[in-house]
Structure 1
Amino acid sequence: MIFPKRKNIQTATREQLIVVGSKNPVKVNSTSKGFHKIFDEQHFIVEGLNINSQVSDQPMGDQETYQGAFNRASNAQKTFPEADFWVGIEGGVEDTGEEMSAFAWVVILNKAGKIGKSKTATFILPEAISKLVRGGMELGEADDKVFDRENSKQESGAVGILTKGAVDRAKYYEQAVSLALIPLSNEGLY
């Protein structure tokens, strides 16, 4: 089988601007790394903005989490329309029977009006954390309380803590950013 050659979105060598709908350094860095891996010959400037997701502080369920990611990307586009790409990353949780799983959605919009989207892998949260989240606490706050940390959501996050660093939050998001870029990096197929 012959695969089409990967095309860069633009052939010009100018730096392209990516706006991430969050100032969280993990989300900004994972976006930068994901873009640079997929478009290795392009030059990017990646900036984070405080953008409202217009969903709950702790999204519950797949749909609300996706909507938060989409809203972040869309609102970033409205806030800074001069950019080339807009990225929304939203972490969420979902009850699955007696257990609670965690995941994130990534949505990427480009100037041509295309959309890329991907969801991270899911993992089961410990009951101590799930209980706090069900009680109204954000996942990051629950992690901090259970593991006696501060601001873990801007560092390793639950996935990093629970895997003892084997899967850190930045790489976790980076993979989803790369996957969300599939329709944007394979123009002839999508």
Structure 2
Amino acid sequence: MKIVVGSKNPTKIKAVQEIFPEADVASKDVPSKVSAQPFSDIETREGAINRAKQCKDVSSGSIGIGLEGGVMHVEDELYLCNWGALVTEDEQVFTASGARIVLPKEIDEELQRGIELGDIMDHYASRDEVRKKEGAIGIFTKDRISRQEMFSHVVKMLRGQWEYWSKE
């Protein structure tokens, strides 16, 4: 089985490798075709689908997986959100969403000024490359949940759906 992940981010690639250990997992940097910082479930999901669709065309017989992080408002609070998509060679699309956690007001204010969450988190946490390591979820859960774990959960849901529906 060949899987192409629509990102060069190591947390996303490792999540797919963990859940599909038998697969030949490759990665390709493809655009999400949504905002650099998605601001809703709809936009974040769309970005994941767009990445997965582009990846499934990379090599014959491959499955494409797109994983996208974003933010969304619920009433007056901003939450971290994430979506994944798996697209099969015959164009079946499976999607899943994962953990959500409220973000501090000052992060919402910086996002509203057009700064991406990954850049904000580096400054906020006084760390480098947070998006490629623990992610905002890791910072705000005191490393109890990492970005890779969060995406692994989403990939488990994608794999489960795909296996269920492809056996029918």
**TM-score normalised to the size of structure 2?**
0.94
Contact 1:91 1:102 in 2 (8 A): yes
2: CA distance between counterparts of 1:100 and 1:19?
31
Which runs of structure 2 are paired with 1:44-83 in the superposition (5 Å)? 44-78=23-57, 80-83=58-61
Point out the structure with the larger helix share: 2
State the superposition RMSD in angstroms: 1.5
Instruction: State the percentage of identical aligned residues.
Output: 29
Output the CA distance in 1 between the equivalents of 2:24 and 2:43.
29
Q: Work out the CA distance in 2 between the residues paired with 1:188 and 1:61.
A: 30
1:98 CA displacement: 1.9
Matches within 5 A, 1:19-58: 19-36=4-21, 43-58=22-37
Aligned residue number for residue 74 of structure 2: 96
Aligned pair count? 168
Q: Which runs of 5+ in 1 are unaligned?
A: 1-15, 37-42
Q: Is the 8 A contact 2:55 2:63 kept in 1?
A: no
Q: Which residue of 1 aligns with 2:130?
A: 152
Aligned to 2:64: 86
Q: Deviations over 1:54-105 (max 9, x none)?
A: 1110011011111100000011123x03242100001110122221001111
Contact 1:128–1:146, Cα closer than 8 Å, also in 2: no
Larger Cα-atom Rg = 1
Q: Which amino acid aligns with 2:131?
A: K
Q: Distance in 1 between matches of 2:86 and 2:166?
A: 18
Paired residue for 1:7?
none
Partner of 1:87: helix, strand, or coil?
Answer: strand
Amino acid at match of 1:162: F
Give the partner amino acid of 1:101.
Y
AA of the residue aligned to 1:82 = S
Unaligned runs of 5+ in 2: none
